[in-house]
Amino acid sequence: MAGSQNGSTASYAVGPFRALAGPMLALAVVCVINVGFSLLARQQFDRNPELKPYFQHMLDDSRAQIVFLGNSIVERGVDDRQFSHETGLTATQLTSGGAATAFWYLTIKNVLLSQKEPPRLVVVFFRDNMLTMPEFRTEGRYKERLVELSTGTEPLLDQLAYFQQMGFLKESLTRYVSLYHLRGAIKSDFEYGVRDRLARMALSVDQTTLRNAIANVFDEGNMIPELVTQAQIMMEMPTDMRYYDFESQIDRSFLPVMIDLAASAGIRLTFVRTKKRRDLTSGQQPEPLLRYMADLRSYFDDKGITLYDYTDDPRIKLEHFALGDHLNEETGRPLFTSLLAKTLEPEIRAISK
């Protein structure tokens, strides 16, 4: 009887541990995977630190007095050499395709402010309401560029670009589970594998040939310009109205911090709103955007900052555009560069005193 009782007692003691064995093993596997992806993320950071020192080298080499911050709109629409020739001041671009305010904030903070002699004028090029959309262009391949510009931890970047839109569970997963944190990169790699590798295998061509063929087929020269413009207008109809509420967006954006950082380094900050293909047709700006731009201009006026707006400039015409909102290199870039050199004369005079 005693032996039977001892055996029963032992089975009861072992039972709970046996019940916990499965969850504990699963937890251990998740921890191992999480650590592995954490090391992978750190290796990627260590392997791709080139953007920040590249920008710093550009500034050191050019000794630029004027810096243009933007994205491919600036890359294709502004000729630095022509601008420097027309103004007599050296200018350079610190840009990346698809860059937005998170990228510009990090560039000001970690690149411009690290210079012994920061540029005297920084011109930020933007479209519509993107200045108060902190999470815009911060995932996927854009996130890789942000990592390259980061220095150690970036709590403000995390808070504004990622966490303030999340619930508690999603924020916890993003903070502490590396596999979840890397989901965008994993998704991009998978899509690339399906789209690119399988197509190359099926067609028996190399990567360059495939991409050139796709670019040739979808080149805007093969499209009807009026239909491209109409498609652009339809794509840009407002969907999430909160992004047009300037008062609610401004304090949760990078814009105030960008202004404060520039002021702390004695950098004059100016903003240029570029013309979009949509604006070739008059009256296409939605009413919420018009109200937003009026509030933005008032905000800049209070800060003593100048906003230059090319939205309704009749000198920029359809023949000056390439794909989407980009200007073409043949006529659009020379025209806009000359317009810009003339427009920025008050800023140039201010930094030349």
Question: What confidence score (pLDDT) does residue 47 get?
Answer: 35
Average pLDDT, the chain: 81
Q: Name the nearest CA neighbour of 127 among 231, 243, 248.
A: 243
Q: Has residue 178 got a pLDDT over 70?
A: no
> What pLDDT band is residue 220 in, cutting at 50, 70 and 90?
low
Question: CA angle at residue 40 from 57 to 48, to 5 degrees?
Answer: 10
Question: What confidence score (pLDDT) does residue 51 get?
Answer: 87
Mean pLDDT score, 305-319: 97
Question: What confidence score (pLDDT) does residue 238 get?
Answer: 52
Residue with more model confidence, 224 or 156? 156
Q: Has residue 6 got a pLDDT over 70?
A: no
The string of DSSP codes covering 46-97 is HH---HHHHHHHHHHHH--SEEEEESHHHHHH--HHHHHHHHSS-EEEEE-T
Name the pTM for this structure: 0.74
Residue 64 CA: distances (Å) to CA of 47, 56, 120 = 28, 11, 9
Q: Has residue 86 got a pLDDT over 90?
A: yes
Mean pLDDT score, 298-324: 96
Question: What confidence score (pLDDT) does residue 168 get?
Answer: 44
